[in-house]
Amino acid sequence: MIVLMHKAVEQGVNFFDTAEVYGPYNNEELVGEALAPFRNKVMIATKFGFNIQDGKMAGVNSRPENIKKAVEGSLKRLQVDVIDLLYQHRVDPNVPIEDVAGTVKDLIAAGKVKHFGLSEAGAGTIRKAHAVQPVAALQSEYSLWTRQHEKEIIPTIEELGIGLVAFSPLGKGFLAGKMDENTKFGEGDIRNVLPRYTEEARVANKALLDLIHQFADKRNASPAQIALAWVLAQKPWIVPIPGTTKLQRLTENNGAASIELTNGELQEIENASAQIQITGSRYTEAMEKSTGL
Protein backbone atom coordinates (compact mmCIF):
# COMPACT_ATOMS: atom_id res chain seq x y z
CA MET A 1 0.00 0.00 0.00
CA ILE A 2 2.95 2.36 0.58
CA VAL A 3 4.13 1.63 -2.96
CA LEU A 4 0.58 2.23 -4.21
CA MET A 5 0.37 5.61 -2.44
CA HIS A 6 3.75 6.62 -3.87
CA LYS A 7 2.45 5.74 -7.33
CA ALA A 8 -0.66 7.81 -6.64
CA VAL A 9 1.48 10.87 -5.90
CA GLU A 10 3.53 10.20 -9.05
CA GLN A 11 0.28 10.17 -11.04
CA GLY A 12 -0.76 13.55 -9.64
CA VAL A 13 -2.96 12.60 -6.69
CA ASN A 14 -2.48 15.21 -3.97
CA PHE A 15 -5.42 14.62 -1.59
CA PHE A 16 -5.62 11.61 0.73
CA ASP A 17 -8.46 10.72 3.08
CA THR A 18 -8.15 8.74 6.30
CA ALA A 19 -9.61 8.62 9.84
CA GLU A 20 -8.54 7.53 13.30
CA VAL A 21 -11.25 4.88 13.30
CA TYR A 22 -9.94 3.17 10.14
CA GLY A 23 -8.18 0.26 11.72
CA PRO A 24 -8.59 1.82 14.24
CA TYR A 25 -5.36 3.77 13.96
CA ASN A 26 -3.48 1.52 11.48
CA ASN A 27 -4.60 3.48 8.44
CA GLU A 28 -3.40 6.82 9.77
CA GLU A 29 -0.03 5.24 10.62
CA LEU A 30 0.25 3.79 7.12
CA VAL A 31 -0.75 7.08 5.45
CA GLY A 32 1.69 8.98 7.65
CA GLU A 33 4.57 6.68 6.76
CA ALA A 34 3.73 6.57 3.06
CA LEU A 35 3.32 10.31 2.59
CA ALA A 36 6.17 11.53 4.82
CA PRO A 37 8.47 12.06 1.77
CA PHE A 38 5.81 14.15 0.00
CA ARG A 39 4.52 16.28 2.86
CA ASN A 40 4.83 19.55 0.93
CA LYS A 41 3.04 18.09 -2.11
CA VAL A 42 -0.09 16.56 -0.60
CA MET A 43 -3.05 17.33 1.64
CA ILE A 44 -4.20 14.80 4.23
CA ALA A 45 -7.71 14.77 5.66
CA THR A 46 -8.61 12.82 8.78
CA LYS A 47 -11.62 12.54 11.09
CA PHE A 48 -12.65 12.42 14.73
CA GLY A 49 -15.94 11.61 16.39
CA PHE A 50 -16.08 8.07 17.74
CA ASN A 51 -15.24 6.27 20.94
CA ILE A 52 -12.61 3.60 20.35
CA GLN A 53 -12.62 0.78 22.88
CA ASP A 54 -10.59 -2.44 22.73
CA GLY A 55 -9.48 -1.58 19.22
CA LYS A 56 -13.04 -1.14 17.91
CA MET A 57 -15.39 1.72 17.09
CA ALA A 58 -17.88 2.15 19.94
CA GLY A 59 -20.44 4.87 19.31
CA VAL A 60 -20.16 8.56 18.44
CA ASN A 61 -18.31 10.96 20.72
CA SER A 62 -17.64 14.56 19.73
CA ARG A 63 -17.17 15.98 23.20
CA PRO A 64 -14.47 18.67 23.14
CA GLU A 65 -12.04 16.64 25.24
CA ASN A 66 -12.39 13.67 22.87
CA ILE A 67 -11.81 15.88 19.82
CA LYS A 68 -8.60 17.25 21.34
CA LYS A 69 -7.40 13.79 22.29
CA ALA A 70 -8.16 12.47 18.77
CA VAL A 71 -6.24 15.32 17.16
CA GLU A 72 -3.14 14.71 19.29
CA GLY A 73 -3.21 11.04 18.28
CA SER A 74 -3.75 11.82 14.60
CA LEU A 75 -0.89 14.33 14.53
CA LYS A 76 1.51 11.69 15.86
CA ARG A 77 0.29 8.87 13.60
CA LEU A 78 0.26 11.04 10.48
CA GLN A 79 3.72 12.41 11.36
CA VAL A 80 2.59 15.99 10.77
CA ASP A 81 2.62 19.26 12.70
CA VAL A 82 -0.78 20.33 11.41
CA ILE A 83 -3.83 18.49 10.02
CA ASP A 84 -4.83 19.93 6.64
CA LEU A 85 -8.54 19.07 6.89
CA LEU A 86 -10.23 17.76 10.03
CA TYR A 87 -13.73 16.33 9.74
CA GLN A 88 -16.32 15.44 12.31
CA HIS A 89 -16.83 11.84 11.13
CA ARG A 90 -20.50 11.67 12.09
CA VAL A 91 -22.83 14.10 13.85
CA ASP A 92 -23.06 13.48 17.60
CA PRO A 93 -26.66 14.10 18.76
CA ASN A 94 -25.42 14.54 22.34
CA VAL A 95 -23.05 17.44 21.62
CA PRO A 96 -24.23 20.77 20.15
CA ILE A 97 -22.58 21.28 16.78
CA GLU A 98 -21.64 24.80 17.91
CA ASP A 99 -19.44 23.23 20.62
CA VAL A 100 -17.81 20.96 18.05
CA ALA A 101 -17.14 23.88 15.69
CA GLY A 102 -15.84 25.99 18.57
CA THR A 103 -13.41 23.26 19.61
CA VAL A 104 -12.06 22.94 16.07
CA LYS A 105 -11.85 26.74 15.86
CA ASP A 106 -9.58 26.67 18.93
CA LEU A 107 -7.46 23.92 17.35
CA ILE A 108 -7.11 26.05 14.21
CA ALA A 109 -6.05 29.03 16.34
CA ALA A 110 -3.50 26.78 18.07
CA GLY A 111 -2.01 25.85 14.68
CA LYS A 112 -2.91 22.17 14.93
CA VAL A 113 -5.57 22.18 12.20
CA LYS A 114 -5.92 24.18 8.97
CA HIS A 115 -9.50 23.51 7.86
CA PHE A 116 -12.75 22.22 9.37
CA GLY A 117 -15.00 19.65 7.68
CA LEU A 118 -18.22 17.76 8.37
CA SER A 119 -19.30 14.35 7.13
CA GLU A 120 -22.84 13.21 6.34
CA ALA A 121 -24.29 16.25 8.13
CA GLY A 122 -27.71 17.73 7.38
CA ALA A 123 -28.27 21.26 6.04
CA GLY A 124 -29.28 22.72 9.42
CA THR A 125 -26.23 21.26 11.13
CA ILE A 126 -23.96 22.62 8.38
CA ARG A 127 -25.37 26.13 8.78
CA LYS A 128 -24.99 26.12 12.58
CA ALA A 129 -21.40 24.86 12.40
CA HIS A 130 -20.46 27.28 9.61
CA ALA A 131 -21.67 30.24 11.68
CA VAL A 132 -19.11 29.40 14.39
CA GLN A 133 -16.19 28.20 12.26
CA PRO A 134 -16.29 28.28 8.44
CA VAL A 135 -16.69 24.76 7.06
CA ALA A 136 -14.28 24.07 4.20
CA ALA A 137 -15.71 20.74 3.04
CA LEU A 138 -18.57 18.34 3.51
CA GLN A 139 -17.82 14.68 2.91
CA SER A 140 -20.91 12.71 1.95
CA GLU A 141 -21.81 9.85 -0.35
CA TYR A 142 -22.53 11.03 -3.90
CA SER A 143 -22.64 9.12 -7.16
CA LEU A 144 -24.92 8.26 -10.06
CA TRP A 145 -27.03 6.12 -7.75
CA THR A 146 -26.83 8.17 -4.54
CA ARG A 147 -28.23 11.59 -5.34
CA GLN A 148 -30.53 12.54 -2.46
CA HIS A 149 -28.15 15.31 -1.39
CA GLU A 150 -29.03 17.26 -4.56
CA LYS A 151 -32.35 18.36 -3.00
CA GLU A 152 -31.16 20.38 -0.03
CA ILE A 153 -27.57 19.73 0.98
CA ILE A 154 -25.74 20.53 -2.26
CA PRO A 155 -27.64 23.84 -2.71
CA THR A 156 -26.82 24.71 0.91
CA ILE A 157 -23.09 24.13 0.60
CA GLU A 158 -23.01 25.91 -2.77
CA GLU A 159 -24.60 28.94 -1.12
CA LEU A 160 -22.07 28.85 1.72
CA GLY A 161 -19.02 28.20 -0.46
CA ILE A 162 -18.32 24.74 0.96
CA GLY A 163 -16.77 21.99 -1.16
CA LEU A 164 -18.17 18.46 -1.45
CA VAL A 165 -15.87 15.47 -1.07
CA ALA A 166 -17.81 12.59 -2.59
CA PHE A 167 -17.16 9.22 -0.98
CA SER A 168 -18.19 5.94 -2.63
CA PRO A 169 -18.37 7.64 -6.05
CA LEU A 170 -18.23 4.14 -7.58
CA GLY A 171 -20.99 2.74 -5.38
CA LYS A 172 -18.53 0.57 -3.42
CA GLY A 173 -17.52 -1.08 -6.69
CA PHE A 174 -20.94 -1.67 -8.23
CA LEU A 175 -20.79 1.25 -10.68
CA ALA A 176 -17.36 0.08 -11.84
CA GLY A 177 -19.02 -3.08 -13.17
CA LYS A 178 -16.85 -5.28 -10.97
CA MET A 179 -19.67 -7.29 -9.40
CA ASP A 180 -22.91 -9.02 -10.34
CA GLU A 181 -25.58 -11.05 -8.54
CA ASN A 182 -23.14 -13.96 -8.15
CA THR A 183 -20.43 -11.94 -6.39
CA LYS A 184 -19.68 -13.09 -2.85
CA PHE A 185 -18.39 -10.58 -0.31
CA GLY A 186 -15.79 -11.56 2.25
CA GLU A 187 -16.37 -11.79 5.99
CA GLY A 188 -16.56 -8.34 7.55
CA ASP A 189 -17.38 -6.62 4.22
CA ILE A 190 -20.00 -3.94 4.95
CA ARG A 191 -21.77 -4.77 1.68
CA ASN A 192 -23.01 -7.98 3.32
CA VAL A 193 -25.45 -5.94 5.40
CA LEU A 194 -26.35 -3.05 3.09
CA PRO A 195 -29.77 -3.35 1.39
CA ARG A 196 -28.47 -2.12 -1.96
CA TYR A 197 -26.06 -5.05 -2.27
CA THR A 198 -28.42 -7.96 -1.79
CA GLU A 199 -28.50 -10.39 -4.69
CA GLU A 200 -31.98 -9.17 -5.67
CA ALA A 201 -30.93 -5.51 -5.57
CA ARG A 202 -27.87 -6.19 -7.70
CA VAL A 203 -30.08 -7.79 -10.35
CA ALA A 204 -32.59 -4.93 -10.23
CA ASN A 205 -29.92 -2.21 -10.34
CA LYS A 206 -28.21 -3.67 -13.39
CA ALA A 207 -30.20 -1.24 -15.53
CA LEU A 208 -28.07 1.66 -14.26
CA LEU A 209 -24.91 -0.30 -14.90
CA ASP A 210 -26.06 -1.04 -18.45
CA LEU A 211 -26.53 2.70 -19.00
CA ILE A 212 -23.00 3.43 -17.76
CA HIS A 213 -21.63 0.68 -20.03
CA GLN A 214 -23.30 2.32 -23.05
CA PHE A 215 -21.40 5.55 -22.46
CA ALA A 216 -18.19 3.70 -21.62
CA ASP A 217 -18.35 1.96 -25.01
CA LYS A 218 -19.01 5.27 -26.80
CA ARG A 219 -16.08 7.03 -25.14
CA ASN A 220 -13.69 4.05 -25.20
CA ALA A 221 -13.55 4.27 -21.42
CA SER A 222 -14.27 1.97 -18.50
CA PRO A 223 -17.55 2.12 -16.53
CA ALA A 224 -15.58 3.38 -13.51
CA GLN A 225 -14.18 6.24 -15.55
CA ILE A 226 -17.64 7.25 -16.77
CA ALA A 227 -19.07 7.11 -13.23
CA LEU A 228 -16.23 9.29 -11.92
CA ALA A 229 -16.37 11.67 -14.90
CA TRP A 230 -20.08 12.17 -14.16
CA VAL A 231 -19.30 13.20 -10.56
CA LEU A 232 -16.52 15.53 -11.74
CA ALA A 233 -18.88 17.14 -14.25
CA GLN A 234 -21.52 18.11 -11.69
CA LYS A 235 -19.72 21.02 -10.01
CA PRO A 236 -16.12 22.27 -10.12
CA TRP A 237 -16.00 22.11 -6.32
CA ILE A 238 -16.92 18.42 -6.04
CA VAL A 239 -13.99 16.04 -5.48
CA PRO A 240 -14.58 12.28 -5.68
CA ILE A 241 -12.39 10.02 -3.51
CA PRO A 242 -12.45 6.51 -5.01
CA GLY A 243 -10.53 3.98 -2.98
CA THR A 244 -8.49 1.09 -4.31
CA THR A 245 -5.77 -1.36 -3.34
CA LYS A 246 -4.70 -2.11 -6.93
CA LEU A 247 -2.32 -0.06 -9.08
CA GLN A 248 -4.29 -0.95 -12.22
CA ARG A 249 -7.49 0.52 -10.72
CA LEU A 250 -5.65 3.58 -9.45
CA THR A 251 -4.44 4.35 -12.96
CA GLU A 252 -7.89 3.60 -14.40
CA ASN A 253 -9.63 5.88 -11.89
CA ASN A 254 -7.19 8.73 -12.49
CA GLY A 255 -7.95 8.47 -16.20
CA ALA A 256 -11.44 9.80 -15.46
CA ALA A 257 -9.97 13.27 -14.97
CA SER A 258 -9.26 13.50 -18.70
CA ILE A 259 -12.80 12.52 -19.74
CA GLU A 260 -15.02 15.55 -20.16
CA LEU A 261 -18.63 14.58 -20.70
CA THR A 262 -20.46 16.98 -23.02
CA ASN A 263 -23.65 18.78 -22.04
CA GLY A 264 -25.48 16.52 -24.46
CA GLU A 265 -24.04 13.36 -22.89
CA LEU A 266 -24.84 14.61 -19.39
CA GLN A 267 -28.43 15.31 -20.43
CA GLU A 268 -28.69 11.85 -22.00
CA ILE A 269 -27.46 10.27 -18.77
CA GLU A 270 -29.86 12.43 -16.77
CA ASN A 271 -32.87 11.52 -18.90
CA ALA A 272 -32.08 7.80 -18.96
CA SER A 273 -31.16 7.48 -15.28
CA ALA A 274 -34.37 9.32 -14.28
CA GLN A 275 -36.30 6.33 -15.67
CA ILE A 276 -34.35 3.86 -13.51
CA GLN A 277 -35.63 3.09 -10.03
CA ILE A 278 -32.75 2.18 -7.72
CA THR A 279 -33.56 -0.82 -5.53
CA GLY A 280 -32.37 -0.93 -1.92
CA SER A 281 -31.48 1.90 0.46
CA ARG A 282 -27.81 2.78 0.84
CA TYR A 283 -27.78 1.97 4.58
CA THR A 284 -29.90 -0.02 6.99
CA GLU A 285 -32.50 2.04 8.87
CA ALA A 286 -30.36 2.04 12.04
CA MET A 287 -27.33 3.27 10.09
CA GLU A 288 -29.32 6.05 8.42
CA LYS A 289 -30.44 7.31 11.82
CA SER A 290 -26.81 7.62 12.90
CA THR A 291 -25.71 9.72 9.93
CA GLY A 292 -27.20 12.96 11.24
CA LEU A 293 -29.24 13.60 8.09
- What is the radius of gyration, based on Cα positions, of the chain? 19
Find how far residue 179's CA is from the centre of its chain: 21
Is the C-alpha dihedral spanning 149, 153, 159, 164 positive or negative?
negative
What is the Cα–Cα distance from 123 to 219, expressed in whole angstroms? 36
Which residues, 6 or more positions from 189, have their beta carbon under 8 angstroms from its beta carbon?
Answer: none
β-partners of residue 53 are 56
Q: Which residues are catalytic?
A: 22
105 to 122, 240, 271: CA distances (angstroms): 20, 26, 43
What is the Cα–Cα distance from 204 to 222, expressed in whole angstroms? 21
Give the up-direction half-sphere exposure of residue 285: CA atoms within 13 A in the CB hemisphere.
0
What is the Cα–Cα distance from 182 to 156, expressed in whole angstroms? 40
The answer to whether the CB of 82 falls within 8 A of the CB of 40 is: no
DSSP state of 255: G
